[in-house]
Structure 1
Amino acid sequence: MDVIRPVTITADKLVSSNVPEDDHPQWVSATVYAKGGRCIRDHRIWQSAQDSNAGHDPTAPGSESWWSEVGATNRFAMFDARVGTQTRAQNEIRCTLRPGRINTLALLNVSAASVEVIMRSGSEIVYQRTASMVDCEGGTSWYDYFYEPIRERQDVVFDDLPVMGSATLDVVISRPGGDVACGLLSAGLSAPLGRVLREAKISITDYSKVSDDGFGGLRLTRGEWAKRAEVRMIIPSREVDRIQTLVAELRATPVVWVGAKNLYQSLVIYGKYDDFAIDIAYKTISYCTLTIRGLI
């Protein structure tokens, strides 16, 4: 299992994007906003909480009585540290980043035909790879092949990028003639934890609502869902202190956990760990257990 220590993609790290930031007008101090009126400030969408709202900067301290934060703009939704909010476009999402020193790029909650990543040092291409999002492992029979709908992978991880501090990264998420979306782009330096054993358990947390209508029937409201995993790893005993320190540094921090490279998408999880323990079993080999709660 690896964990990606993420770089925050701020406006200065996003060199360019083909997704327009025109969800609403930019905030203007002289504009008088009515209650419910919306604007953009610092790549976030804000909604006026009062009538006659003028001169109140949504990002300033004490502005809570005047503004409520709605969320990231469409352009920045894929960088807002949430999987459930997606950047959406037609045909393709194309962006150029200057993230600094990274070796891994993860894209989660993706709806696309392919994802291409190109890393450049100056004008020289030092890395280029295209990943198909078609799930080739979904069928188990000829019936599935001919009659079941084609499934797409929602998550993809590029874990072999060269570490270059000043390189630029082009990311192209495409579906010619269709809609594309990306929930989270996480770039950073990955750190190894251990080898996941076969006793790993995967599940989901379902946020759907169930209510009784009072007449013996149930009203079901479909909600979001998040991954959850309980893994047991084997680790070299000499790595115990490093892993404990690393996991301690990630407490209360949502990150991408990659449980089995290119094997189970279910073990690619954006979330935080709930439980962590190391069993120092032998002189050379120890065991680590980790419970990860996926976030939306």
Structure 2
Amino acid sequence: MKLIAPVPITDAVMGASSLEENDTDDAPLWTAGAKAAGDRVRRPNHRVYECVVPHNATSAAVDYPENNSTGESRKWIFVRPTNLYAAFDSAKRTASVANGEVLSWTLTPGVRVDSLSLFGVLASAVRVRVTVAGVIKYDRTQSLRLRNCRSWSEWFTKPIAFRSDVSFTDLPMYRDAIIEIIVSWPGNIPQVGEIQIGRYDYLGAVKWEPSIRTVDYSENEPDQWGTIEFRPGESVRVVEYDLFIRNEDVDEVVRLLTKAKSAPRAWLGSPKFGALNLFGFAQDFQLVVRSPAGSFVNLQIRELT
């Protein structure tokens, strides 16, 4: 089990991209002046807000949308992050959407990182390239195509499916690395829900028999004749793992898991089963120091949308 603690993506980290801040919303930068209901603006925090109460905004901080978007007397509501930063907002449901067949970012973390995970991906391939002082140190492409066919008939007729998550955990660790992320889908519009970049911590070995269940937020209500009306909602995974860890790592694992209960992380439970890799938080864990040979951890991870 690998746990990635993300590096915050700030203006200093963000470099060139195929996206612009204002790709998907007609949202100019906020300025003081008259605001009408329905007006959308964006702020330096890379968020888009919509005016709900007409007013004349001054340049005072109390009139900034981010300071006036909660409570009963709010004048603004938060709509979404800007398209450029949507993939870095710790939520998969707000995706960065390409304006063509390719979606790309160039990041300079400024610290040593070795891992990169993408979640909620709609694309056919993801390429990661690491450059240091103009020299390419790493260049790897992963296809997201799934061809799980049981017969020749399925091979030729079954629609091609795609993985929605992909991870790279072997990036060379240079402090001055420039990391390019290139997401492509020929003939289609790719998008990415969440990107986590950082350095992974190894927690322990995942034992066989991890379990996966889903929590569905859809609403299905029958009427008086028994007809059911379906109102689709989000569905999230809750994955339960049993880990074997070294006794020497007990304190460190407890520290990492405690910290991960209050902030989302990338959890990589298996390189073979994609369903065991998810973006979420530690809902619960229990550690038992079983014997001098090692300890066991029961860990529940809840996916975030």
Letter in 1 for 2:124: A
CA drift at 1:132: 0.6
- Residue deviations 1:111-130, cap 9 Å, x none? 11111100111201111101
Task: Say whether residues 1:143 and 2:153 are aligned partners.
Answer: yes
Using the size of structure 1 for normalisation, the TM-score is 0.94
- Residue deviations 1:191-242, cap 9 Å, x none? 0111111120012222211123343222111112222101101111221111
Aligned to 1:47: 50
Match of 1:177, SS state, is coil
Aligned to 1:134: 145
Following the alignment from structure 2 to structure 1, what is the Cα–Cα distance between the partners of residues 119 and 69?
33
Following the alignment from structure 1 to structure 2, what is the Cα–Cα distance between the partners of residues 159 and 215?
54
Following the alignment from structure 1 to structure 2, what is the Cα–Cα distance between the partners of residues 51 and 258?
47
Aligned to 2:169: 159
Using the size of structure 2 for normalisation, the TM-score is 0.92
**2:231 aligned residue (212, 221, 225):** 221
Aligned to 1:84: 93
Letter in 2 for 1:51: P
Match of 2:300, SS state, is strand
Following the alignment from structure 1 to structure 2, what is the Cα–Cα distance between the partners of residues 189 and 173?
21
CA drift at 1:63: 5.5
Following the alignment from structure 1 to structure 2, what is the Cα–Cα distance between the partners of residues 79 and 63?
21
Letter in 2 for 1:79: F
Match of 1:210, SS state, is strand
Letter in 1 for 2:296: Y
Match of 1:247, SS state, is helix
CA drift at 1:62: 4.6
Question: Does the C-alpha gap of structure 1 residues 128 and 37 become closer, same or farther in structure 2, counting only changes over 3 Å?
Answer: same
Contact 1:29/1:57 (<8 A) preserved: no
Task: Say whether residues 1:119 and 2:126 are aligned partners.
Answer: no
Contact 2:87/2:195 (<8 A) preserved: yes
Following the alignment from structure 2 to structure 1, what is the Cα–Cα distance between the partners of residues 52 and 294?
58
Structure 1, gaps ≥5 residues long = none
Aligned to 2:2: 2
Match of 2:153, SS state, is helix
Aligned to 2:64: 57
- Residue deviations 1:32-73, cap 9 Å, x none? 2211211111211101121134232213x3554221111101
Match of 1:145, SS state, is helix
Letter in 2 for 1:6: P
Question: Aligned residues: percent identity?
Answer: 31
Task: Say whether residues 1:103 and 2:114 are aligned partners.
Answer: yes
CA drift at 1:190: 0.4
Question: Does the C-alpha gap of structure 1 residues 279 and 57 become closer, same or farther in structure 2, counting only changes over 3 Å?
Answer: same
Following the alignment from structure 1 to structure 2, what is the Cα–Cα distance between the partners of residues 286 and 150?
42
Contact 2:118/2:166 (<8 A) preserved: yes
Following the alignment from structure 2 to structure 1, what is the Cα–Cα distance between the partners of residues 302 and 30?
40
Task: Say whether residues 1:277 and 2:280 are aligned partners.
Answer: no
Contact 1:119/1:125 (<8 A) preserved: yes
Aligned to 2:196: 186
Which deviates further from its counterpart, 125-134 or 222-231? 222-231
**1:168 aligned residue (171, 178, 183):** 178
Which deviates further from its counterpart, 174-183 or 19-28? 19-28
Aligned to 2:249: 239
Following the alignment from structure 1 to structure 2, what is the Cα–Cα distance between the partners of residues 116 and 53?
47
CA drift at 1:140: 2.8
Aligned to 2:29: 27
Contact 1:276/1:290 (<8 A) preserved: yes
Contact 2:144/2:162 (<8 A) preserved: yes
Q: Which runs of 4+ in 1 moved over 6 A?
A: none
CA RMSD, Structure 1 to Structure 2 (Å): 1.5
Number of paired residues?
A: 293
Contact 1:228/1:269 (<8 A) preserved: no
Following the alignment from structure 1 to structure 2, what is the Cα–Cα distance between the partners of residues 243 and 66?
45
Letter in 2 for 1:45: V
Aligned to 2:40: 38
